[in-house]
Amino acid sequence: HYLVDAVSDYAIYRLDPNGCVASWNTGARRLKGYDAAEIRGRSFSEFFTPEDRAAGVPQDILQRAARDGRVEVEGWRLRKDGSRFWALGTLHAIRDADGTLVGFAKVTRDMTERKAAQEALAASERQFRLLVSGVVDYAIFMLDPHGIVTNWNTGAEKIKGYAVDEIVGRHFSVFYTDEERAAGAPERALATAAAQGRYEAEGWRVRKDGSPFWALVIIDAIKDETGALVG
């Protein structure tokens, strides 16, 4: 009991079989804003938004936990003052030695900052995709580590002549002349980019209709946080 009460980063509390609060730790008081005396005996549905309550979400969570033993959910929850926070919650069914349901153990963590960071990253990625897709003077596209085209911008379609569904999934060596392919130029370009981080060269390239054009080509290696090549 003392260990649970001392945990301040998680709301840890117990519900009776009907979903009413039976115990309340320091983390629950800090996160949700209620003192133990004022929340004990009240339904945990009070922590849910009006739209979730109207949709029967609290009851559904209780039923799923009773059926499966454990349920994990994410969503907006309410503090005592009415403010919302994004919560990651786990509800465990508690049964006695006879298997009778005697209540639930609830653990909730405030994930608002992580959700905000994820949404900011998603917005940034959307803006980047829109920017790249709208560039028409440069062919900008990605390859997987083996040189297979994985995405394609408007400029690439304009310069090379392939629609996105015609080129994604094909090897980028299709843009090289027969002579350069035979000499292994595409493979050398990828190997150089992988080893040195960047490859830059000028040379003849071939459009979908077979016409040649003189190109300045830059291939930048993309690595993940562990240093592994991802494309």
Percent of the residues in the chain that have a pLDDT greater than 90, as a whole number: 81
Query: What's the one-letter identity of residue 103?
Result: G
The predicted model scores a pTM of 0.57
**How crowded is residue 203: how many other Cβ atoms within 10 Å of its Cβ?**
14
Distances (CA, A) of 116 to 30, 73, 86, 107, 121: 20, 18, 9, 21, 9
pLDDT band at 3 (very low <50, low <70, confident <90, very high): very low
pLDDT in tens, 73-115: 999 999 999 999 999 999 999 999 999 999 999 999 999 988 9
The predicted structure's pLDDT at residue 120 = 87
- Please state, in angstroms and rounded to a whole number, the distance separating the CA atoms of residues 218 and 230: 17
Q: How far apart are CA 20 and CA 42, in angstroms?
A: 5
